[in-house]
Structure 1
């Protein structure tokens, strides 16, 4: 015979259920976003070394969210009346300027360097800001997770930093700058007070305004030169998957997990990019890469809070 459940225990179960549901949805959204971004790195690297300059690839990325999410940003207007400063940080870290910084970085460095230095360093920056300025307490498990991510980043990207090719240092500097910009967006989103679709759509709108004078002519030239299929593939990868699905999913993860936990999942991107690069670019990871992938994966599992009873606010 089942034992009766006390009123206090019943209330605790009811209160706990939405939290664990939110955490599960947040983890699923974060994993969806980082899976797309792993493919995005390879796709963008291929495009900027092919027939599409960074501003053209950027236009293809932002035109889809600007159009598809027009009903969402139309409710807000051309800019948010409140929390304008957090919105500017989000735009700087996820819009046209961020894309131009990262797109130009990929002209100088191989795809293997992008994952460790862009999404790999971003969760470390978010964690540092959260601890120093937002007074967040990580706990020893999550702290160990971020240490593992740092080890994975150093292992995966160390060779490119210590033995750079000609001009590669420019790409490394731009990638770290891009990571800091994206970290600002991760922390600023929840202070905008906007829904994910509203923020992503408004970022897309202003990015298109900035990129159209130089990006749209590149699209027209590429199509007229017979590269219409590549333009279409980039439109799907950049615009639909990366520009809408991944951004909305990641912002939903931030809502449910908090900025530092959501950011921790981006530590998986270097491993995913390395795996995707094998069939697409013909790059096969060596032993240092495999060690870095393992360390990053363990670090994400710990830093995300999956094994921690801490509250969701972190």
Structure 2
């Protein structure tokens, strides 16, 4: 393997680890945002307005990167509007712990299933690791979901839909050979072109501006800068180096990282099965990663 290829994979792994930190933070900060006067629509507005302004100069310079408008719009619909609106809808109906498990923990499974529809194959040596990821996710679901009410079931469904959207977006970015510096502005700016006018027409900007300045600054900084712009870039960069399957494997650690971070930040602790689920998912992720990148293909 060439030195250049090794360096590229190292950058991809670094971006995937950053992605884990950002999306775990997304669960925590979104949970905190739900406890303020801001609504899910408000969080979406901050995400796409701030992120769109940051990415606009890059989008103007790079445009659609050779994609047809329809292809670019589909990627933006899935990875931008579809993912964000589904995730925020889930957070308004179900606890953040559900999001950690169902929104992020199922990404590897959805990515492999969607990949099969696009002609990707699964190496047999990777199956045990994938089964461990599935088992660990099931343990965490059983521990955190318990016996949900109908409202929580609807929130869980939104989380699963968001995971499907994000996984499909990753597959499409990979198949298009889209560079990360082009994928991020396409997703964010095209989403902003739809979301921002809709919010200004139907939302309550005055109510948003009356929110606590500290809450507003926190959500604008995290949802707009880190999640709205930065997360798309690092995710696309990880997919560029590791592929959608390799990147999705890292996402299996997000429920565990979220649970650990929630202990000091939210005062939430997983039960015994939750800890077992975290351990099993981590082992499954490592097993699949070693087969994918270290073992002979």
**What TM-score results when the alignment is normalised by the length of structure 2?**
0.90
For residue 92 of structure 1, report the CA deviation from its aligned partner. 2.3
C-alpha separation in 2, matches of 1:206 and 1:307: 34
C-alpha separation in 1, matches of 2:120 and 2:32: 41
C-alpha separation in 1, matches of 2:95 and 2:67: 41
1:87–1:188 CA contact under 8 A, matched in 2: no
For residue 84 of structure 1, report the CA deviation from its aligned partner. 4.0
The one of 176, 184, 195 equivalent to 1:200 is 184
> What's 1:56 paired with?
42
For residue 310 of structure 1, report the CA deviation from its aligned partner. 5.1
Q: For residue 69 of structure 1, give the secondary structure of its aligned residue in structure 2.
A: helix
CA offsets 1:21-52 (integer angstroms, 9 cap, x no match): 22211111100011111011111122134211
C-alpha separation in 1, matches of 2:101 and 2:93: 15
Q: Quick check: which one's helix share is greater?
A: 2
Unmatched runs of 5 consecutive residues or more in structure 2: none
Please give the root-mean-square deviation of Cα atoms over the aligned residues, in Å: 2.2
C-alpha separation in 2, matches of 1:163 and 1:75: 51
> What's 1:254 paired with?
239
CA offsets 1:281-304 (integer angstroms, 9 cap, x no match): 210122111111111111222223
CA offsets 1:128-179 (integer angstroms, 9 cap, x no match): 2324532323231x22221111112111112455511341110111111111
Structure 1 residues 270-279 or 212-221, which shifts more?
A: 212-221
The one of 117, 131, 142 equivalent to 2:102 is 117
For residue 192 of structure 1, report the CA deviation from its aligned partner. 3.4
Matched, 1:19 2:32: no
Aligned length in residues: 294
Q: For residue 253 of structure 2, give the secondary structure of its aligned residue in structure 1.
A: helix
1:102–1:174 CA contact under 8 A, matched in 2: yes
The one of 136, 156, 160 equivalent to 1:172 is 156
C-alpha separation in 2, matches of 1:112 and 1:293: 13
1:89–1:184 CA contact under 8 A, matched in 2: no
C-alpha separation in 2, matches of 1:300 and 1:90: 26
Q: For residue 252 of structure 2, give the secondary structure of its aligned residue in structure 1.
A: helix
Q: For residue 92 of structure 2, give the secondary structure of its aligned residue in structure 1.
A: coil
Unmatched runs of 5 consecutive residues or more in structure 1: 1-14
C-alpha separation in 1, matches of 2:193 and 2:293: 44
> What's 1:237 paired with?
222
Q: For residue 118 of structure 1, give the secondary structure of its aligned residue in structure 2.
A: helix
Larger Rg: 1
| Distance change in 2, residues 1:67/1:18 (3 Å) | same
